[in-house]
Amino acid sequence: MTYDEALEKIDSRLVFGVKPGLERVSTLLHWLGDPQKNLKFVHVAGTNGKGTACTLTASVLKESGYTTGLYTSPYVLEFRERFQINGEMIPKEELVREVELLSPLVDKMEAAGETVTEFEFITVLAFHWFASRKCDVVVLETGLGGRLDATNVIESPEVAVVMSISLDHTAVLGDTVQKIAREKAGIVKPGGRVVLYPRQQEGVREVFETVCRERGAELIVPNLAAMQVLEATIKGTVFQVGELRLRTPFLGEHQEKNAVTVLAAINLLRQRGFSISEEALKNGFEKAFIPARMEIFCEKPLVLLDGGHNPGCALALRDALSRFAPGKRVGIMGMVSDKDSMEALRIVGPMFSRLFTVTPNTPRALPAEKLQEIACEFCPKAEAAASCGEALKKAFRALEEADALVVFGSFYLAAEIRDALAENTKKLKVH
């Protein structure tokens, strides 16, 4: 099997589940010898901030000398980003070997009438690979929800982390934040330890207090007042916590909440016996990186790429643009059809003087023309582009009269446009 054939094997699976439940994943893992039982985990759920929390935590653990696995989604540039050890993606030949090992077991299950989804397949693959590489700890990001998410087959993690919860995947998880919170609280294990992002929508904290009380789990809600933001610029954020000074390259007002949540998780890991020095903590925060998450390609004029794809991400983007790009802005936007484009545009659309809509390269894409129709209500100068190349050409031309170019929306768009965006940025007359 070649690498491309392995990817085709994975891509051929259904994206979303046929019927909910953890039985298929549990059975596949059992056939493989239950590799997940040989691993320690930091389990991370939430609507927004999961990627940042996972990246920061994994970076700190790596700097502390631990062989650290990272399982996260979605990927931006390459599928292998979803499986990393100490910041290195799974080698192509090892991914092929894992697919070859797992495929006959999946075929056996499907012959018995059970359909295995793509996320179930790659979650089992990830557990087996991390165990085969003898990871000391794995930072594990949920895919969708928590209770019935394929990652939730694990036993009690070292710590569970729940980031900001807002409306997303409402057809699957529920139409209120309280219902969604109950689904995400499914990762809380009896007697476990849970860190909850400190500023949640109404009713979310109460859900977790109830669930943790019922399951005898320890709930920690970090104290935001303990952290002081010393500096917030387009280059990142500097925090002071007691005597500790930390810098993260991530920007946005929400980063202090992300950081204080991760710090609380790190302190719990220390209590669990992990040796994490302040130096490792500083280096881990400083070196963390996620492509297409408020990624800066140029400061003057500002050229920014953000793969945020739901209303919570739109709020974070609006805050960042208000603070760091107060002048005229031109945007390129692409979305998938199952995301709330209307709400995202209501939040961020009025910030743009010009907006070019594109169709991301995925079967789930919202057509550029349809997105333009929605966008016109919030940005009258919205225009559908035939391709990313055309959108970039027009946007950079418009940038001559603006102070910022922002590419945002789907991660599919980010992956498709990132290289061309970087190339076009190099041609700018930077001042």
Q: What is the 3-state secondary structure (H, E, C) of 383-408?
A: EECCCHHHHHHHHHHHHHHCCEEEEE
Percent of the chain with pLDDT over 70: 96
Assign 431 a pLDDT band (cuts: 50, 70, 90): very low
User: Which architecture, in CATH terms, is 3-287?
Assistant: 3-Layer(aba) Sandwich (3.40)
Q: Residue 406's beta-bridge partner residues?
A: 304, 331
Place of tokens 């302040």: 278
> Which pair of structure tokens corresponds to residue 132?
């085969």
For residue 76, give both structure tokens: 């931006």
For tokens 């929400």, name the residue: 254
Predicted confidence (pLDDT) per residue in 353-364, tens digit: 999 999 998 888
Q: Give the pLDDT of residue 170.
A: 43
pLDDT of 429: 62
Max Cα-Cα span within the chain: 64
Looking at residue 330, what is its pLDDT? 97
What are the tens digits of pLDDT across the range 217-243?
A: 999 999 999 899 999 888 889 999 988
CATH of 295-426, one of 3.90.190.20, 3.40.30.10, 3.90.1150.10, 1.10.1840.10: 3.90.190.20
Token pair 């904290």 in the structure block, residue: 205
pLDDT at 161 over 70: yes
Domain map of the chain by residue range?
3-287, 295-426
At 332-342, the pLDDT tens digits run 999 999 888 99
Lowest mean pLDDT among 111-120, 139-148, 212-221, 247-256: 247-256
pLDDT in tens, 251-263: 877 888 999 999 9
375 contacts: CB under 8 Å, gap ≥ 6:
333, 345, 349, 355, 357, 382
Residue 430: the pLDDT is: 55
Give yes or no for a contact between 352 and 379, defined as CB atoms under 8 angstroms apart. Answer: yes
Percent residues over pLDDT 90 in the chain: 74
pTM: 0.87
293-305 mean pLDDT? 91
Residue 74, preceding peptide bond in cis (omega within 30° of 0)? yes
